[in-house]
Amino acid sequence: MNDDKHIVAHINHTWFATSETFIYNFISSLRTFHPICLSWIQENIDVFPFPEDDMHSLTRRRYSPEWLFNNIHKRICGIDYYLKNIVELRNAKIIHAHFGPHGVYALQIKKKLGIPVITSFYGYDLSKSSIIKQWRRGYASLFEEGDLFLVEGPHMKSVLINLGCKEEKIEIQRIAIPVDNIRFIPRRPKRTDEKIMFVFCGRFVEKKGITHALNALKILNKTYNNFEFTIIGDGPLKSEIENFIDTNDMRGYVRMTGFMPYTKYIEEMQKGDIFIHPSITASDGESEGGAPTVILEAQAMGMPVVSTVHGDIPNVVVPGKSALLSNEGDHDGLAENIAFLLNHREMWEQMGKTGREHVELYHNLKTEVMALENKYLRLCQYSVATDDRTL
């Protein structure tokens, strides 16, 4: 580690969940600041390599002496001993909490050590009704005492304001991907006798809208029958999705791959002609908040996108030019947009180029990491100036 680099302590429940690749990309790409990662669970380190000395576990074996000590310390002092100790020993200058509840947790350290706290919101933490209810009081304190709040786009910003956060404390930090590492392949028209490849990727949860995609393709199959739909992913709704496919006799043109390692996932995605991701607001209020990272990756690859007017999805695509958007849950509208692309295959290549250019310009990891580090630098300078005034 370079001694002249300020340390940023990143706090999350789990490092590194496979569904949070976008967070790993940011943390592992920092150059001016040195990241350390604190969490209760550590997994997938073989997939997401990170220096072992900078990974800190906050978990202690239940009923062990360390566990008992930490619980007593929290009752007396109101703060997690290990969390405070690690941040203090590593001389972290900023705490960056990922997801709202961890921002509430990080306030303890701010109060004890006077370290600025940045909180990034991502989706469920500002939309799921049970989370909002559980953390309402904690969020009120966080919005009052936290230093900076990051969201992926203007829609998320408006939601955070409605929850009670002051607008001047919120900044947009665009979701980003390593565009240079993703190969662009022009999607050119296929002959009428060639099979069209549709693809989806995501967790099998309600907000991803997988059954809506299946409903749209069931409608299309009445007129078009030379296509295949590949579903990449897994999750709690797997049985429900499989039952839907079997009940509607869709096995002949729907293929499920399960979760795939990142390199294999990229290979599978590149086989697609059109990417489908019809996000919706779930029955419990949970939404994408911003937009799925996979939509950016699909555009970077050169695929036209079919999605929905949901969260910040309209802000990460070029509506009508790189993507066709329908309303949430509108099977017929979704089917019409897919049919339009089947009937206008000459548009695929230009839509793919437009999507790639949009991602390169607005969602490139290189430029967005610089933007994040500028935010860190501003907070560090403010913190130093505040310390100077109190001497």
Q: Summarize pLDDT for 97-107 with one digit per residue, the tens.
A: 999 999 998 99
pLDDT at 382: 60
pLDDT tens across 154-178, in order?
999 999 999 999 999 999 999 999 9
Residue 315 and residue 153 in contact, taking contact as beta carbons nearer than 8 Å: yes
Nearest 5 degrees, angle CA 211-CA 326-CA 124?
A: 60
pLDDT tens across 301-328, in order?
999 999 999 999 999 999 999 999 999 9
pLDDT at 381: 81
Domain chopping of the chain, boundaries: 6-176+364-389, 179-362
Lowest-pLDDT range, 62-66, 192-196, 283-287?
62-66
Assess whether pLDDT exceeds 50 at residue 294.
yes
Assess whether pLDDT exceeds 90 at residue 1.
no
6-176+364-389 and 179-362: same fold? yes
256 compared with 380, residue with greater pLDDT: 256
How high is the mean pLDDT of the chain?
90
Assess whether pLDDT exceeds 60 at residue 115.
yes
Assess whether pLDDT exceeds 60 at residue 67.
no
pLDDT at 323: 98
**What residues have CB less than 8 Å from 101, skipping those under 6 apart?**
125, 131, 135, 138
| The CATH homologous superfamily of the domain defined by 6-176+364-389 | Glycogen Phosphorylase B; (3.40.50.2000)
Residue 244 and residue 314 in contact, taking contact as beta carbons nearer than 8 Å: no
Residue 42 and residue 59 in contact, taking contact as beta carbons nearer than 8 Å: no
Assess whether pLDDT exceeds 60 at residue 76.
no
CATH class of domain segment(s) 179-362: alpha beta
Residue 319 and residue 163 in contact, taking contact as beta carbons nearer than 8 Å: no
272-290 mean pLDDT: 95
pLDDT at 77: 44
% of the chain residues with pLDDT over 70: 91
Q: Would you state the structure tokens that stand for residue 105, as one six-digit string?
A: 């947790």
271-278 mean pLDDT: 98
pLDDT at 111: 87
pLDDT at 159: 96
62 compared with 89, residue with greater pLDDT: 89
281 compared with 76, residue with greater pLDDT: 281
pLDDT tens across 200-219, in order?
999 999 999 999 999 999 99
Give residue 81's pLDDT band: very low, low, confident or very high (50, 70, 90). low
Lowest-pLDDT range, 16-30, 59-73, 253-267, 369-383?
59-73
Residue 236 CB neighbours (<10 A): 10
